[in-house]
Each structure stands twice: as structure tokens, then as C-alpha cells.
Structure 1
Amino acid sequence: MSLINQTLPIAKTALSNSLCPIGVKLCNNANQIRLLSSDDGTKLKLKDKIKQSKLFNRKNKTTQYQSFRKEKKKSQRTSPPPSGSHPIMNTVIFLGGAATLAFLFTGWPGKDDDPYNVDEWVYRSKEQIKKLTEEPKVSKILPDELPAPHNQPFTLFINLDDILVKSSWDPENGWHVVKRPGVDFFIQYLAQFYEIVIYSDTNIETSEPVINNLDPHGVVLNRLYRKDINSMTKKHQKDLHCLNRDIKRVIVLDSSKSSYKKYENNVILINEWDGKKSDKELLKLIPFFECMAITLPNDIRPVIKSYSGKKLSDAFMEHQNILREKFNEQNNEILKKREEKKMQTQPNDNGNGIVNALFGGRSRMAQEIPEEENEEEYEAPLVNPVDDMDQRRKNMRKAFFRQRSEWASMADEQRRLTMESIENQFNSKDEEEPIKDINIE
């Protein structure tokens, strides 16, 4: 090995001076041979052994840690937790104790109650919990009714959302509210005969601008919002007694009876508006409301119940047509019998009949007819009550449109006077007097 180390430099210089590429290759091979010498090989083997020992120790530690974790999990599964250290069990015990104390506290005995009677204690607790969960938070939402003749005979409780208006979205305008066809006439016209209450399940900031747009003249005095509806609702059921009105004279206009299980005979169903401009559901209901305002039944519930399971607007008009035809048939029969008996009561050709007719007497045929039958026949009405109802409804609508035009003219006149006042104030040439300086000494 020493001989090779001594001869390598000499050979390298000689070959480099002669510029022999073979010599360079030999020198490079010699260097490679030097790297693979015995001394360097032992060093490389030692390094590999050290690396392998480190990797082994590291793997051994990880395997030991993993086995320790597995044994710990097995011990936790098999062995029960020590008493008083389970968090879930402690939470359940705490909540159960708190609920028991709250239950006993709600049935706390009064002065006249026996504190040692367990049954009475439990009964008081159940009644108090039932009162808190089922009864509404408030007993009166609307103010007291005005005295007659300033009050309205019926209260109309209308849902705003999807019944009178509908929220829609489009890429150009975003979210906006659209009015149902006929809603303006429906509210302003029926406000003459009904106390209208509009309610919404949204908050006041969202609903109030919409109702103001529907009611520019302020005919809807009572408006209820989410807070009010929540206060009169328990277990998703609305308590109509909280309206502070006689339940016999309350009419609900909504799309479902699910929230009025105790008051199904007060609810008139109407389909939710799908956004079509050809919708006429509100306008079709107006004849029914007009008829109720004219006839004024003492209890509205039997009337609504008679149309149960039917679409009220169509069923009401069908019923009116049946009554009209039935009355016309009966009236025609009465008129026919009347004409026949008139022919029978005419005077005969003999002289006795002529004398009786001249001196106010009665013929034999007339004497044979009982007086009661004649009176009943001539008391028969000649005007169809259904047609009379239609005529009264037409007169009511004419009066409304006349009143509405008067409102519009009054509003225009008020607007004109306001503009004149503003112009006069702007064009006035009266100069304000200058403020004099005051010397305070």
C-alpha cells in the first residue's frame, strides 16, 4: 500500500506532462482505488453500523410507545372509571337534581296548602308547568274595542306573508316584495265593514314598510309582528282569545288551519299566492264578506262551518245561484196560483153577481175561498232576496268608489296647499330685523 502511494504522484506528473488522456484516466482510477482501500472501508462500515443502530433505537422507541398506548386503552375499556370522576355522569346527576328542585319549587305550598301532602305538591307543580308551557304569555294583544256605534261588527285577522304579498328575487332587482292582485281594493273596501288586523311572522323592521305601502290611508289600525305573534302562540298554536275580541265575531284568513286547531270554524282558507298576475282569489272572497256585513249573523262560526271542505268563494256563489233559482220557482208557482184564483173570483153573468159587485158584495166563489189563504197568497214577496243582496252590494261598491275619489281630491287639494305655502315662504320679501348689539355694562 505504501509503494502505491509513493509511485502515484510520480506517474501522475509524468502523464500530465505528456498530455496523455489515458494517464488521466489511470489517475482517476487510482483515486477510486484509493477510496476503496482497506482503511476507508472500515470507516464506511462503522458509519453504517452507527446509522443502523440509531434507526433501530428510534424504531424501538416508537414500537414501545405504541404498545404502551394500546395497553392503556385496553385497561381503560376493561376497568371501570373511579367513582366521581366521570364528567358525563356528573352532568346528568347535576341536571337531574336541578330539575327535581325546580319541579318541587313550582309546587311550593301556599298559606292554605298542606306542605306535607305529597300528592297535592305534585299536582300544584304539574298545573304550574302546564300553565307556563301551554298558556300564552299575554292575555290581551289588541286594545279594548271601541263602544258602539264606532266599533265594527267583525274582526278580520289576515296573514301578510304569501297571502297579501310575496317576496321574490331576480338578478336585476334582487329581493323585493310584490303585492297580490286586488289587495289594495280588498283592504280599503272591507275596512269600512270590518276591523282588519294584519299580522306577520317577521320583525317590525321588515313588515311595517310593506303594510304602510298596502295601507296608505291608515285604515288598518292594528298590526301585529313576530314579537306579538310569539306572545300569543304556544306549541305552534295561536290563541285567538288574546285578540281581546268576541271569538264569535273573529274571522281568520290564512292558507292553513294547522295553527288554529281550537278555532277551525273561524278560519277561511285561501291558497298562497304563486306570483301569477292573473290571480283573483282575494276578489272572489269579497261577495261573501259583503253578505256577512249586510246580514250580520250573531255567530260567524256556523256559517264558515257550512262551507267546510269546500273552496268558500266558489261554494258561496254556487249556493247563491241555487237560492236564486229555488226562490224564482216558488215565486212563479205563487203568482200562477194567484192568477188562477183571480179568475175564479170574477163576478158571474147573472144579476146577483152584478149587484154584489156593484154594492161591494162578494161572489159565491170568493166566499168559498178562506180568508187566511187569500192573505197568505198576497203576502208573497215579489223581489228575489238574492237579487236584492246583489243590488245592495253594487250600491256599497259605488259608494266606496265615490268616497275614494273624494279622498283622492282631498289629498290633491292638501298637496296643492302645502306647495303654495312652501312657495310663499320661499318668495316672501319680508326681511328679518337685524339683531341689535346689546352692551352689557
Structure 2
Amino acid sequence: MYIFLGLPPTDPEGNVVEDEFGKGFSIRRSVATFKIKKQEMEEPSRKKLLPEPLQPPFVQPPYTLVMEITGILVKPEWTIKNGWRFKKRPGVDYFLQAVGPPLFETVVYTSETGMNAVPVIHSLDQQGHVMYKLYRDATWYDGKDHVKDLSYLNRDLNKVIMIDCKSKSVKLQRNNAFVLKEWDGDENDTALFDLASFLQTLAHSKIEDVRTVLEYYMQFDDPIAKFRENQLLLQEEQERQRQEQEKPKQKSPFDFAKSFRKR
């Protein structure tokens, strides 16, 4: 490899081109080229992973939702007959429709390679709710994990929510992350319905900094269960207030006296 990396560059016709290391093989060129290749593999492929926000007359959704697909929307399974396949999680179609524009700018940001992820995303999102797709080349590789760096998104982090099932993948902006348990393949799972309800509630509340909400829920082992509990308490309180408003107002003795004097 060092010999190959140390060879001088050539033009389209195959002629050797002289660079700062000369025309022949160079150990220094080999080292420099290796560092460049290593950097390309470890760092995101570009400084701005998303284009500039949409400008009027187009409508830019107020929040950006970044989500992993593996463990969140699908589960990889392997069989001798079919090899590797991705099992679709219950509620995927509803979830993508519910959190798509205009509430959220939806972005798939996956640790999968483009070769693996493209057909999966195409199969899941045939209606085109996902606005952008980012693959493994858009992550940092720290030697063990592919880490997602939201600072490369070209978006205000106050308005960015990242859905994942691996804490290590979101460690750079942990306060922006909503980490769920990895889907185990249960056909009766309802987490995506609850997650859609949570995200819709957050968006309709017009939260200025989503990190304050995410920090609160991520202190619990099951944030979705805590959200369901809070929603139930809210519904009970709203029902109590409604019943209070519908109660007939009881007249006091003073009211009766006033009406008697009027007669």
C-alpha cells in the first residue's frame, strides 16, 4: 500500500506529473497521501451536509428531524434462504406522513452505507416525505463507531431533533438526541405512533429550543412511556377543567336577597 501511495500522479494520458515530491517514488508522498486518505475515511465527506434552508416563496419547516433507520424504522434480519433483509417496523407509513413537512424537515442520517440504505429508504418512503438522505460517508469514524455530528448539518441546533437507538452515535450533541430502545422485531410494537404524537405535540407547541424538552424526557429510562403518562395527566386535567366550567353556578343567599329587593 505504501508503495502504491508513494507513486507519483499521472495525467489522463498516463504520463508522470511532477509534484512537490518529485517524479519518482517517495516515502514522504506515501505518508502524506495516507494521511489524506485516512482523513477522508474518518471525517464527514463535506462541511455542509444539507443545502441552505428554503427561502420564500418556498416554505422551510420550522424544525429539522434527523433519524436513523436501522433499529428505529427497520430491523436487519439474516436467513440462509434470503440472506440479509430489512424488516419494516409497524407504523412506519403513519410516522413518516405525520412528521413530514410542513412540521418537520425530515432527514435520514444513517450509519449504513448508501448501497445498503438507498433501496431500504426507497421502499419505506414511496410518498417522498423524507427530504434529504445522509449515509455513512457523512459521519465521523472514531475507530469504533460512526458518529453523527449535527454541527455539519447547516441548521440551527435549537431546532434539530435526532432520533437514534445508539447513544455512542449521538454523543457529540447528546442534548439534541432522543434515544429509543432498538426495535426487537415485535409485530405489536406501537412506539412509532407514540413518537409521532410526541413530535407533533412539540412542533405545535412552537418550542424555541427543543433541547430543553429532550433533556427532560431523556432522564427517564423509557421517555416514550413518560410522554404517554404526561399526556394522560394532561387529558385528565383538561377534562376536570371542562367539568368545572359546565357546573351550574350556585346562588348565594346574598344573590337571593338582591333579587327579592328588586321585586
1:147 aligns to what? 55
2:226 aligns to what? 315
Contact 1:347–1:354 (Cα < 8 Å) also in 2: no
Contact 1:158–1:198 (Cα < 8 Å) also in 2: yes
Higher relative contact order (CA 8 A, sep 6+): 2
The gaps in structure 1 that reach 5 residues or longer are 1-97, 103-131, 356-441
What's the CA shift for 1:174?
2.9
Contact 1:142–1:244 (Cα < 8 Å) also in 2: yes
Larger Rg: 1
What's the CA shift for 1:136?
5.9
1:201 aligns with one of 111, 133, 150: 111
Correspondences of 1:345-364 after superposition (within 5 Å)? 346-348=255-257, 353-354=261-262
Render the CA deviation track for 1:17-58: whole Å, top value 9, x for unaligned.
xxxxxxxxxxxxxxxxxxxxxxxxxxxxxxxxxxxxxxxxxx
Render the CA deviation track for 1:290-333: whole Å, top value 9, x for unaligned.
21121111110111111122222211121122233345556666
Identity of aligned residues (%): 35
Cα 1:153–1:173 change in 2 (3 A) is: same
Question: What amino acid sits opposite 1:309 in the alignment?
Answer: Q
Cα 1:287–1:335 change in 2 (3 A) is: same
Correspondences of 1:198-347 after superposition (within 5 Å)? 198-230=108-140, 236=145, 237-310=147-220, 311-329=222-240, 339-340=249-250, 342-344=251-253, 346-347=255-256
In 1, Cα distance between the equivalents of 2:218 and 2:133?
Answer: 28
In 2, Cα distance between the equivalents of 1:186 and 1:293?
Answer: 14
Correspondences of 1:19-418 after superposition (within 5 Å)? 138-147=46-55, 150-192=59-101, 193-230=103-140, 236=145, 237-310=147-220, 311-329=222-240, 339-340=249-250, 342-344=251-253, 346-348=255-257, 353-354=261-262
Aligned residue-pair number? 223
Contact 1:188–1:215 (Cα < 8 Å) also in 2: no
The gaps in structure 2 that reach 5 residues or longer are 1-27, 33-39
Bigger strand fraction: 2
Cα 1:254–1:335 change in 2 (3 A) is: same
Contact 1:159–1:198 (Cα < 8 Å) also in 2: yes
Question: What amino acid sits opposite 1:206 in the alignment?
Answer: N
Cα 1:298–1:172 change in 2 (3 A) is: same
Question: What amino acid sits opposite 2:61 in the alignment?
Answer: Q
